[in-house]
């Protein structure tokens, strides 16, 4: 199966045993991929690919490298 990479940042790493990079299957929405690897989608403030925001409902493509940033503290 072709895969993509999720790269959790900051507090999100705690949900993947501190790893900075997690492989996930492609062809599914990002929201689903987050759940698959144990990251609560509600804690992801913004997902980035090539420094552009990626919607959690978008389908992950093979080879995607997606940075995940947490909601930390608001204003």
Partner 1 sequence: MNGYGGSILRVDLSSGKINKTPTPHDLAKEYIGGRGFGAFLLFTEVPKFADPLGPENKLILSTGPLSGLMIPGAGKMDFTTKSPLTNGYASSSLGGMLTAELKYAGIDSVIFEGISPNPVYLLIEDDRIQLLDATEYWGHGTISVEKSIKDKYGEDYQVAVIGPGGENLVPFASINHDYGRQAGRGGVGAVMGSKKLKAIVVHGTKAIPVADPEGYRKAGLDLFKACKQAEGLVPWQQYGTTIVTSWCNEVGALPTRNFTSGYFTEGKELYGPVMREKIVVTDKGCFGCPSPCGKYSRTKKYQSNVEGPEYETIGLLGSNLGISDIEDVAEANRLCDDLGIDTISTGGVIGWAMECYQKGILTSADTDGLVLNFGNTVTVFELIRRIANKQGFGNLLSQGVKKASGIIGNGSEKFAVHVKGMEQSAYATHNATAMLLAYMTCDVGAHHNRSWAITYDLQVGRDLVVPEKVARIIWLQNFRPMFDVLGSCRLQWVELSIERDLYIPALEAITGVSRTWEDLERVGEKIWNLTRLFWIRENPEFSREWDLPSPRFYTDPPPDGPTAGQITKYEDVQKLLDMYYEQRGWDSNGIPKPETLKRMKLDEFALST
The footprint of partner 1 (CB under 8 A) covers 9-11, 40, 42-46, 48, 51, 53, 56, 69-75
28 vs 17: CA distance, rounded Å: 23
Would you say 1 or 51 has its CB closer to partner 1? 51
Burial environment of residue 44 by CB neighbours within 10 A (0 to 12, 13 to 18, 19 or more): buried
What are the tokens at 18?
């501190």
Least distance to partner 1, CB of residue 47, Å: 10
Smallest distance, partner 1 to C-beta of residue 73, A? 3
Which one, 11 or 36, has the nearer CB to partner 1? 11
């Amino acid at each position: 199966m072709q895969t993509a990479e999720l790269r959790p940042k900051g507090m999100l790493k705690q949900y993947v045993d501190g790893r900075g990079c997690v492989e996930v299957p492609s062809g599914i929405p990002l929201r689903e991929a987050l759940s698959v690897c144990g990251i609560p989608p509600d804690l992801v403030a913004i997902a980035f690919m090539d420094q552009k925001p990626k919607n959690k409902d978008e389908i992950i493509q093979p080879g995607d490298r997606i940075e995940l940033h947490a909601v930390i503290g608001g204003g």
